[in-house]
Amino acid sequence: MIVEWVIRALGIIAVLSALVAITRRNPIYSAVFLGLNFLCLGGIFTFYVSPFVGAVQIIVYAGAILVLFVLAIMILNLRDEDLGPSRRTVVKFFAVIAAIGVVWLIITITAGFVPPGREAGTISAAQVGRALLEAHVVAFEVISVLLITAVVGAVVLAKKRMEV
Amino acid sequence: MEDAMLRLILLFPLAGFLFNAFLGKRAGERVVSWVGPASIFFSFATGVYFMSQLAGLGEHGYIRDVIFTWIASGEVSIPFSIVFDHLSGWMVLVVTGVGFLIHVYSIGYMHGDKGYYRYFAYLNLFVFMMLVLVLGSNLLLMFLGWEGVGLCSYLLIGFWFTEEERARAGMKAFIVNRIGDLGFILGIATLLWGSAVVSHPTVEFSQLQAVVPRLPEWVVLAATLLLFVGATGKSAQIPLYVWLPDAMAGPTPVSALIHAATMVTAGVYMVARMNFAYSAAPLAMDVVAGVGVATAFFAATMGLVATDIKKVLAYSTVSQLGYMFVGVGVGAYAGGMFHLTTHAFFKALLFLGAGSVIHGMSGEQDIRKMGGLKDKMPWTYRVFLIEGLALAGIPPFAGFFSKDEILFKAFASGHKLIWAVGIAAAFMTAFYTFRLIFLVFYNTPRYDESVHPHESPPVMIIPMAILAVLSFIGGFVLGFPHHSLIEAFMEGVFRHGVEIHGASGLEMGLMFLSTIVAVAGWAVAYRMYVVDTTLPEKIAQRFKAAYALLFNRYWVDEIYDTLFVKTYLGISDGIMRYIVDDVIIEGFLNTAARTSLGTGRQLRKLQTGDVQAYGFAMLAGVLLVLAYIVWRWAT
Amino acid sequence: MKLLTLLIMFPLVVSLIIMLVPRRYEGDVKFVAFVAAVIELILSLRLWYGIPEKGYAFVEQVAWVPAYGINYYLGVDGVSILLIILTTFLTTIAILASFKSIFLYEKEYYIAFLVLESAIIGSFSALNLVLFYIFWEMMLIPMVLIIGVWGSGNRIYAAVKFFLFTLVGSLLMLLALIYLGKLSLAQLGRVSFDLDDLLRLGIPVGVGKWLFAAFALAFAIKVPMFPVHTWLPDAHTEAPTAGSIILAGVLLKVGAYGFFRYGVPVYPDAAGALRWTFLILGLIAISYGAMLALVQKDLKRLIAYSSVSHMGFVVVGLFSSNQQAVDGAVMQMINHGLSTGALFLLVGMIYDRRHTRLIKDFGGLAAAIPLYSAAFVIVGLSSIGLPGLNGFIGEVLVVLGAFREHYLAGVFTAIGALLAASYMLWAIKRVFFGPITHDENRNLRDMSVREWVCVIPLIVLIVYLGLFPGRVLKIMKPATKHYLELAEFERTNWMAEHLKGIRFPAEESPHEHGGEGE
Amino acid sequence: MFGELIILSAVLFAVGAVGFLTRRNAFVVLMSLELMLNAANVVFVAASKQWGGPEGLASVLIVIAIAAAEAAVALAALLALFRVVGTEKIDEWRALRG
């Protein structure tokens, strides 16, 4: 039972950190709180079903992507951001309304829906590995291609305009 | 009786046309002047030969020659076949005879003209087309000749096409003829499908003769009236006569041949050929007679004041044609044909005479600028006098007998009013004929010194002399009352005709009366134009309005022009520019094009370039889908 | 041997060969094209001796896409033979006529013509609806190129307009065609577009009307019929001489042929129901075309509007219920092809010399160039239907046929012939007669030998067909009779009805049915 | 437990969406994008637990890989854009206006 309470706590922290992340004026602070959010989710995954995936989440998201963000922000050494003209409030208001609407709709749709099948225990890394490399090997290969192109793309984009 | 030689009558003028048209330019004037008249003469000779053959065949005899099947579609089959019977034989002789004389005359008249070969080519083509019209054994073949003749008159009127006026006159003649032909083709259609119901679709004259009595009244009436519309177009009767006065723009021999002797009589010939149909529809007969006498009177009035020598003769032709239609209209078909023949003689002669006057006066046509040519051109004067007497209807000349025949038959068959109007017209005819003679040949010359009239060369005088003899003896030889050769000759063809017999005493009385009227006309003209030349001015002043009305030909041309030509042009122009092509159809297309362009431009504004706006649109989309699922799932 | 396939493929092969000719020798490509056209003409004359008494001749049938019932099914009957020969004849003359007037992209020009010719022959001989549709579309592309590339003035506008008009029509036809496939699947168990299968389909009247309307619109745009004709004047004024000859001479006939082969026979009852609307549209086209022709300033536009009027005769003929009218319609198609083709040829000649088509720029040409004027007057008279020349035969048969249909129809058709005389004669007067107003006209040179070679065969045919149409009428007889049997128009004969009740006057002795006629 | 996780993911997604739509700073926008992706992962994990199959987790891995690739390219583009346009305010990038 403790596990459920831990997961619920981590969930709440995740939501709060996400809220703080999107409201900070200074991008570095929002990056840090985003990192916290990733950690909480990693925790949820490990306690809930698969420590392997939780670890991957923490390593890749918190470790790699977040660092990338922080790096980019520091390269551009941005000042604090003024929160901009009022014109945005109208859009903000509608965006919030729309977001709340989506949440409410999802909840009503999934309320009381208990999926069939029995609840599994923790799923080991081997099982995940076998699923990836046997059943969905095609997806696995495609992802590798995607990653390569992303790397090349990033290098080309960020390169200074040298006369070639 | 079948005889394949009959087609020679047609082939000669056709050969003449082809030779002149294609080889004429190289062959030179000499050869052309031989080939042209020769082809007509040979045709005339074959005509005489066949006439002798015909005499042996009795009243209903005819010579037929089926050359080939022209149009065959479904059950309608129209052969290209020619029939030489009493009526068409007579017409062939008239056409080729007068035609030949006029061809000879033209050698002199057209001497030295650049388009000499072209002139003779058209003239030969005209005679060919006229013969097709006359000899054709069915209405459609007659229609072929009908329009072919119209074409030749178009070409010949506009012969000197370099002058704007003459080209316009040619076009006007052809279009007015076409209006008439519209009625003609509809008449053919009525008869064709009428006979289809009764027996089998045909327009052959022989078969129509049997079919028409079996057709109901209104079909025959409709057909005959429609055909008569065609006749008014071709023979220049009341509604469609406007083209004839302008047709004088053509060379004079053309006016003599086409607009006096042959083409314009086609309408009379058609009515005579369809006598069985017309006698089956008495109302149509009355219409024909009525229009005829109205035209006769109306044209005669215009003739009184015309100043151009050829215009006077043109109105006189229209008026005499009116008489012929009165003749056939009252059922005196033989009388009508008789007047047609004599008219061919003396009217052609009048035109040739006028031609030689114009030739002598080197192109001057206004009679007010002529005078005293009696001694300058003696032969022309003598010939002109003879035919003047014939036209006016002074006995013993031809005109008297034929015109009197018609008036007598009109009176005897009960058309009293028609007879009265006819007599009045006869008086006017006599008056304007002698007015013309006195103005041209008598008292002091009114032309200026530069002009020195000279007598025409013999090649023109001889044919005129022959025609003068014909118009002198023609009268009593062909149609002496009670034993007229022409009536007996055409008895077979007109067996359906209405038999009119009047007491001979009545006939003598009427003849005497019309002589007095003619002499009165001569006296009045003599008094006004020889004795006291100021009289015409005084009368013109006193009856100013009447004079203006007549002089401007009742403004008929102007009325037609504004009423039909301008409005028709206006409508077409209106349609073209405003209503349909530019506004409705094009407009519809352009608006369709513009609207699609407009909507495209509006939609472009949606792409604001703001990434978050796109994000918002996507979110809104998700929202809607989810809402739909909830709504769908909730119900 | 497969004559029809040969006829269709031969021009394509030659155009391939022309494609290989390097730019340097572009000058003598026109001779190759001309020789090919002449050979094609001789081949097509072979058709003249195989005229079927019943059904089709030179039939070729090869399964192409059997699953969808599309097979390469060719065959010709009397009418299509005449139209094919007209096509090859006019193409030969068109190519000969463009020797001296086309100097830009000559290779592509002659390729376009040869492809156009094979497409037209294909559409006249196709007996499978889809094959017909393919050739129908294939015709469009070269024609648009001819107008768009070698035209004059705002040719792009004219080409685009022509293309859009025809395309819209044929797309609707495509839809109807697909629905027809569905129907044939439902009724025959398999999808088949062969004409003889389509004729067996029992098409319900309700939907049949819509299908026929779609087909009819496509054909009506091509004919062109009254409301949808505005592309024709633009296309003609901007097309080069040879383009106009083929466009007016043959392309318009494909539209009318469409009605004759796939329009009315496939939807007999729908056509029967809509018959009077098309008759009236045809009548309007006749007088409307004539009226507008009267006020045109440009000679080519005048001839274009006169084509609208003449094709109005064809439509009236096709939708009347008697043999004479249909014969007249087919005759009018051929005559119109000859006389309008000749007219465009002649106008093209003075356009090459004076580079203007406006009537007011001419005047008194007869004095300057007599032979040319004589040719123009003869052709002009044939186009207004002077008896003795070819135009008359078609017109008189349609007038008689329409009159039998209803006397008003007869009257309006005859009025059309009268209006025709007015605009043509007025145009001839303004262009040829009267004094020479512009001195450029004074020293125009008369027709060269090459131009004479183009014109003489046309004039000879015009005069020959005018006097001896018997041969041609006999050829088309089985085809037109077959068309009437399929069309099942109710045989109205207003005269018969009127005469039924009335007792005739005294019965004459049975009239001697003498040996007249044949 | 499954229901609560779904709610969590919905809320996370909403927060991400709000961040994406309202903030003018390009980086925060990208971060909220990552948030939305994580919301999706949460659902995958919950589903994998419930259906007991490893496929859910496999797809989580794939999503993470994609997110990484996407972040890399996005940031590179951001840097290039910053150099060209001079600002990272997202609403100034109007070049692609219609």
Give C365-376 pLDDT, tens digit per residue: 888 888 888 899
Question: What is the 3 state secondary structure string of B455-468?
Answer: CCCHHHHHHHHHHH
pLDDT band at A83 (very low <50, low <70, confident <90, very high): low
The pLDDT of B334-342, averaged and rounded, is 85
Looking at chain B, which residue has its C-alpha nearest residue C363? B162
> Rounded distance, CA B300 to CA B372, Å?
25
> Rounded distance, CA B443 to CA B445, Å?
7
Looking at chain D, which residue has its C-alpha nearest residue B602? D98
The pLDDT of D26-55, averaged and rounded, is 88
Instruction: Give the pLDDT confidence of C167-193 residue by residue, as tens digits.
Output: 998 999 999 999 988 888 888 888 888
Domain boundaries, chain A: 2-121, 124-164
Alpha-helical regions (H) of C51-125: 78-97, 106-125
The pLDDT of C40-67, averaged and rounded, is 86
Residue B554 has pLDDT above 80, yes or no: no
Q: Tell me, what DSSP letter sits at residue B362?
A: T
Could you tell me which residue, B253 or C53, shows the higher pLDDT?
Answer: B253
Looking at chain A, which residue has its C-alpha nearest residue B622? A102
pLDDT band at B481 (very low <50, low <70, confident <90, very high): low
Residue A117 has pLDDT above 70, yes or no: no
pLDDT at B479: 66
Q: Mutate which of D13, D24, D90, D97 to disrupt the B interface (most B C-beta within 10 Å)?
A: D97
Asked if A94's CB is within 8 angstroms of B626's CB, the reply is no
pLDDT band at A118 (very low <50, low <70, confident <90, very high): low
Answer for the pair C128, C193: CB distance below 8 angstroms, yes or no: yes
Angle, vertex CA B212, rays to CA B208 and CA B216, nearest 5: 150
Residue B41 has pLDDT above 70, yes or no: yes
The pLDDT of B108-137, averaged and rounded, is 88
pLDDT at C122: 93
Chain C, window 148-167: residues with a beta carbon less than 8 angstroms from a chain B beta carbon: 161
pLDDT at A79: 66
Q: Tell me the nearest-neighbour CA distance from A144 into chain D, angstroms.
A: 9
**A116-130, B177-191, B608-622, C327-341, range with the lowest pLDDT:** A116-130
Q: Tell me, yes or no, if B230 comes closer than 8 A to chain C by beta carbon.
A: no
> Rounded distance, CA A57 to CA A35, Å?
11
Instruction: Give the pLDDT confidence of C465-509 residue by residue, as tens digits.
Output: 988 888 888 888 888 888 888 877 776 667 766 665 444 443 333
Looking at chain D, which residue has its C-alpha nearest residue A155? D76
Residue B235 has pLDDT above 70, yes or no: yes
Q: Look-up: residue for tokens 């028609």?
A: B418
Q: Tell me, what DSSP letter sits at residue A82?
A: P
Q: Which chain B residues are Cβ-neighbours of A108 within 8 angstroms?
A: 630
Instruction: Give the pLDDT confidence of C316-346 residue by residue, as tens digits.
Output: 999 988 888 999 999 999 999 999 999 999 9
Asked if B609's CB is within 8 angstroms of D93's CB, the reply is yes
The pLDDT of A14-18, averaged and rounded, is 93
In one letter, which amino acid is B361? M
In one letter, which amino acid is B525? A
CB atoms within 10 A of CB B188: 24
Asked if D17's CB is within 8 angstroms of B609's CB, the reply is no
> Rounded distance, CA B617 to CA B632, Å?
22
**Checking phi first, is residue B417 left (phi over 0); if not, alpha (psi -120 to 50) or beta?**
alpha
Q: Mutate which of C511, C512, C513, C518 to disrupt the B interface (most B C-beta within 10 Å)?
A: C511
> Rounded distance, CA C241 to CA C246, Å?
9
pLDDT at C118: 94
In a 13 Å sphere around the CA of C176, the CA atoms on its Cβ side amount to 27
Closest partner residue to A105 (CB to CB) among B613, B616, B626 is: B626
pLDDT at C509: 34
pLDDT at B84: 87
What own/partner pairs with CB < 8 Å and gap ≥ 24 does C52-61 have? C52/C77, C52/C78, C52/C478, C53/C478, C54/C478, C54/C482, C55/C482, C56/C127, C57/C81, C58/C3, C58/C4, C58/C125, C59/C127, C60/C2, C60/C4, C60/C5
pLDDT at A24: 81
Chain B positions with Cβ closer than 8 Å to D: 604-612, 615-616, 619
pLDDT band at C310 (very low <50, low <70, confident <90, very high): very high
Looking at chain C, which residue has its C-alpha nearest residue B567? C291
pLDDT at A42: 92
The pLDDT of B180-187, averaged and rounded, is 91
Q: Tell me, yes or no, if D50 comes closer than 8 A to chain A by beta carbon.
A: yes
> Rounded distance, CA D96 to CA D98, Å?
6
Asked if C292's CB is within 8 angstroms of B581's CB, the reply is yes
Q: For chain B, give the mean pLDDT.
A: 83
In order of C56, C127, C191, C194, the CA distances from C66 in angstroms are 22, 15, 9, 11
What own/partner pairs with CB < 8 Å and gap ≥ 24 does B166-169 have? B166/B249, B166/B250, B167/C429, B167/C433, B167/C434, B168/B246, B168/C429, B169/B243, B169/B246, B169/B247, B169/B248, B169/B249, B169/B250
pLDDT at B632: 84
The dihedral built from the CA positions of residue B501, B502, B503 and B504, taken in this order, carries a sign that is negative
> Rounded distance, CA B52 to CA C10, Å?
64
Rounded (10°) angle between helices B24-55 and B86-109:
150
Closest partner residue to A109 (CB to CB) among B616, B619, B626 is: B626
Q: Which chain D residues are Cβ-neighbours of A78 within 8 angstroms?
A: 25, 27, 88
Q: What is the CA radius of gyration of chain D?
A: 16
> Rounded distance, CA C40 to CA C8, Å?
9
Specify the CATH class of A2-121 in words: mainly alpha
> Rounded distance, CA B576 to CA D38, Å?
72
Q: Mutate which of A4, A8, A41 to disrupt the D interface (most D C-beta within 10 Å)?
A: A41
Instruction: Tell me the two tokens of residue B574.
Output: 């209106």
Q: Which chain B residues are Cβ-neighbours of A99 within 8 angstroms?
A: 619
Asked if A61's CB is within 8 angstroms of D64's CB, the reply is yes
Q: Which chain B residues are Cβ-neighbours of D93 within 8 angstroms?
A: 609, 611
Instruction: Tell me the two tokens of residue C184.
Output: 């044939």
pLDDT at A13: 94
Residue B538 has pLDDT above 80, yes or no: no
> Rounded distance, CA C430 to CA C426, Å?
6
Asked if D13's CB is within 8 angstroms of A102's CB, the reply is yes
Greatest CA separation found in chain C? 85
pTM of the predicted structure, to 2 decimals:
0.81
Q: Which chain D residues are Cβ-neighbours of B617 within 8 angstroms?
A: none
> Rounded distance, CA B54 to CA B46, Å?
12
Looking at chain B, which residue has its C-alpha nearest residue C387? B144
The pLDDT of B588-611, averaged and rounded, is 82
Asked if C417's CB is within 8 angstroms of B214's CB, the reply is no
Q: Look-up: residue for tokens 């739509």?
A: D21
**A1-15, B218-232, B564-578, C147-161, range with the lowest pLDDT:** B564-578
> Rounded distance, CA B217 to CA C205, Å?
42
Residue B19 has pLDDT above 80, yes or no: yes
Residue C133 has pLDDT above 90, yes or no: yes
pLDDT at B450: 67
Give ipTM to 2 decimals.
0.74
pLDDT at B328: 86
